[in-house]
Chain A
């Protein structure tokens, strides 16, 4: 008997627990109180299934606490629910732990709690570490979210580069500096005698020659010793793995960010909700500055007026052939530009090779730095040219911006690849040179031996100062140097453009305005706007160059961290000081993934040359951690053989058997194909559903229109009959009653019609009144449009009805 009562009480508790995750908490609190007391009395009498239910209830409560942030409840309710759930969980977790495994369960619970607390503290710590938050907020409030998005992107890049810097600095540069052979001990680590005189000159150092070249900053300094120092640190292995690791880490981060953004971005359906989006999503809530707000109001108004104009005119068919011809012409001009710039770079690189052969001292500063300057100048002027050409095309601003970005992308890419091809030519030259020098060195060593053999000593000691040993050419260091020089000149160009183009311009406009014929601020030069897309592209391409050169110059990530740090402060200052908020705001695309996608493409394209050189070209014999090997990746093979137990290398050799690798690759290709076709079918299903939704919408409108027309005719008939009846009969009540019936029937049909859409036709009296007047005014405006809407036919009030009838009459 007691058990039955208990069971009943527990069922009630379960029901109570199930409803607790919904709205009301007050009743549940009361019932929980009584149940609690019961439970406290008999904690042991819980059968296994009741234990299970209790466990489920506790888990559900825990889940509720986790999801509390995202619930649309007022804060007070959330706090109360939180406190109750926590009390419930604490009370019953203890009870659950009775019986077998109690200690384990309690331990698990305690560890989970500790883990969550640790996670929370870590999150707090992480947010405290984020730099420049206030700076970005200030920029956001002045310029809106699109300009600030550039700075947020810059900060994100800074984070990535910090990690890359940590890897290269900690695992490559520091071990070699601390534990490797010191400077001057072996030939590759010493400045050759011929260059010693000018090794400390600033000009040479700025060019990354001299002492800068023979240091941990570049590939050539590293020794190929298998293990160095007392830690037996395997330098070549570490160098190789860090190189691979930087690329792998970058891929992981970019793809993870893209996946995260993909969830948030809307489906690219640009025109179906044009006006709605303009109304509800055009105001930027980040704006906190009066001038920016005014600009934003103006731009919103303009955009509405434009949309209204477009709507009213529909399509003004311009001369479509002329437009097409102009667009083709514009694309042709752009292609000519791109080809021209590619050829110019190739020509300049070949010329600089010629200069290098002649000896660099014979040429002017311009001729020495020609390549870098030409690339930077092209990057500055060609986009402006593209901008001018695009005025021929007459596209919508958003489409025009996308074309512009695409062209600048192609320009940078073409320049970069021409540069790389020219570099490859130089590498081949150096390798030819290498063969000759190798031959010369053997001759030189032989002569040394001949010289010392005459001394009749058993072990000929060759004590030659390392600086005097003839050195082989080191193409890897040369590549690293080229990239470092490119980055430096690019950075200098950017900063100088910033100072001249933005700052000087702003100063001139401000101070010359007093004594100039026309208003400089409103007219021609005026203050510049911040070019978000140009800056983002510049950032992306710089990062691409870092990725390309990081294998050959471990100092590049460090340089980049410094560069980004300075850029952040400089550009924040410049934007607040010299720029004005943009008048028209067109983002290049709806989602953030556009820039992420470009970054991914650049990452892929920049790792290709590095991978190609690693896989195909044998390393220099005289410099770097891989000297003496046939290929750079041989270091992995050697490590497997020498440092791992024997069975490991056997397993690996089986695993790298083509018979195993090929089926694996085939399997992956099949998996990709399967996923691709599934995603395609989902997309098609999505489109189908959208179409169905549209059709349903149309049908609903048609149905409502028909019903409204029918109601109209019915009412008119009813009116006629009532007026006739009123004339014929003296009893007004009877006629009104028939009118009511008509209304009711019609209202019933309306309700049936509406209830299909699942809406609840009950509402308060005040709303009804409001809706009646609303509908009246709406019908007046709509004219021939759909005459839908509520008709509260079943109201007993005569007032609204009489109001209604004349309005329908006007139709």
Chain B
């Protein structure tokens, strides 16, 4: 093409375009953003797939993420080691899932993973309490928190095990009118 970029080979760009919802220009832009986070760490030339990981403390300073109460969980969910250290692949994956073109099912799967704080494949009451506290910044009293979590479990739990499995979560989210428009980050 016209630009003389040597960040990725054409095959790499085609592969990324096949695996994400991004176009070529957006992928290059993402690489720029990734590099901005840690310029001394992230090389300009990715043609030989260097294994570079950016720590989560740097990633959550991005303007798109810094006000999000769930930023730590988002970064951790999309990292290979589960601790939040992201490679460029994880970075691109994260924004691809959260972009506008990503389908509802995919977003539901990852939303479930994000809200599952203890990573046991269930959203139990503790996870709900964590979520609520992050959302209200601790403004609600303990009884109110407890009441809300109980009500939420009562509403969505279908197999009566007092926590939400993925099926419960999916059933509940599929009817939510705001989910797709709110669970969306534009990069």
A and B: interacting chains: yes
Instruction: Name A's B-contacting residues (CB within 8 A).
Output: 65, 68-72, 74-76, 78-79, 82-83, 120, 123-124, 127-128, 136-137, 140-141, 145, 149, 264-269, 272-277, 279-290, 292-293, 297, 300-301, 304-305, 307-308, 311, 587, 589-591, 693, 696-697, 700-701, 703-704, 754, 757, 759, 767, 770, 774, 778, 781, 785-786, 788-790
Encode contact with A along B60-97: 1 for CB under 8 Å, 0 otherwise.
00011011111000000000100000000110110010
Cβ-defined contact, A304 with B70, below 8 A: no
Contact of B132 among A267, A272, A279 (CB under 8 A): A279
CB distance from B68 to the nearest CB of A (A): 6
B19 within 8 A of A: yes
Query: Could you say which residues of chain B place their CB within 8 Å of the CB of A120?
Result: 17
Cβ-defined contact, B93 with A590, below 8 A: no
CB distance from A269 to the nearest CB of B (A): 6
Instruction: Name B's A-contacting residues (CB within 8 A).
Output: 15, 17-21, 23-26, 63-64, 66-70, 80, 89-90, 92-93, 96, 98, 102-106, 109-111, 115, 118, 120, 124-126, 128, 131-132, 135-137, 139-140, 144, 146-148, 150-152, 155-162, 165, 171-186
Contact of A282 among B125, B171, B182 (CB under 8 A): B182
Cβ-defined contact, A311 with B151, below 8 A: yes
A82→B17 CA distance, assembly (Å)? 11
Cβ-defined contact, A78 with B106, below 8 A: no
Please name 14 further chain A to chain B contacts, defined as beta carbons within 8 Å, in addition to the given A281-B179, A301-B139, A697-B160, sorted by A numbering.
A75-B19, A75-B92, A82-B19, A83-B15, A123-B23, A268-B177, A275-B152, A276-B155, A277-B176, A279-B132, A280-B172, A290-B67, A308-B147, A693-B171
Contact status of A304 and B140, CB under 8 A, knowing A83-B15, A266-B177? yes
CB distance from B84 to the nearest CB of A (A): 14
Cβ-defined contact, A279 with B25, below 8 A: no
Cβ-defined contact, A264 with B132, below 8 A: no
Cβ-defined contact, B136 with A65, below 8 A: no
Cβ-defined contact, B162 with A786, below 8 A: yes
CB distance from B147 to the nearest CB of A (A): 6
Cβ-defined contact, A140 with B159, below 8 A: no
Cβ-defined contact, B179 with A266, below 8 A: yes
Contact of B181 among A145, A754, A788 (CB under 8 A): A145
Contact status of A700 and B159, CB under 8 A, knowing A72-B110, A82-B19? yes
A701→B69 CA distance, assembly (Å)? 34
Task: Please name the residue on chain A nearest to B49 by beta carbon.
Answer: A79
Contact of A774 among B64, B125, B147, B173 (CB under 8 A): B125
Cβ-defined contact, B177 with A79, below 8 A: no
Query: Could you say which residues of chain A place their CB within 8 Å of the CB of B157?
Result: 697
Query: Could you say which residues of chain A place their CB within 8 Å of the CB of B23?
Result: 123-124, 127-128
Which of A78, A136, A272, A789 has the most B CB atoms < 10 Å from its CB? Answer: A78
Task: Please name the residue on chain B nearest to A124 by beta carbon.
Answer: B23
Cβ-defined contact, A281 with B160, below 8 A: no
Cβ-defined contact, A269 with B175, below 8 A: yes
Task: Please name the residue on chain A nearest to B137 by beta carbon.
Answer: A297
Query: Could you say which residues of chain B place their CB within 8 Å of the CB of A277?
Result: 172, 176, 178-179
Query: Could you say which residues of chain A place their CB within 8 Å of the CB of B186?
Result: 136-137, 140, 286
Contact of A141 among B63, B140, B152 (CB under 8 A): B63
A279→B80 CA distance, assembly (Å)? 27
Cβ-defined contact, A273 with B155, below 8 A: yes
Query: Could you say which residues of chain A place their CB within 8 Å of the CB of B177?
Result: 265-266, 268, 589-591
What would 20 A/B residue contacts be, using CB atoms closer than 8 Å?
A75-B90, A75-B92, A145-B182, A276-B176, A277-B178, A280-B179, A285-B68, A286-B185, A286-B186, A289-B67, A301-B136, A304-B135, A305-B144, A308-B147, A697-B160, A757-B159, A759-B159, A778-B162, A785-B150, A786-B160
Which of B98, B150, B174 has the most A CB atoms < 10 Å from its CB? Answer: B150
A74→B90 CA distance, assembly (Å)? 7
CB distance from B67 to the nearest CB of A (A): 4
Query: Could you say which residues of chain A place their CB within 8 Å of the CB of B67?
Result: 287-290, 292-293
Query: Could you say which residues of chain B place their CB within 8 Å of the CB of A145?
Result: 181-182, 184
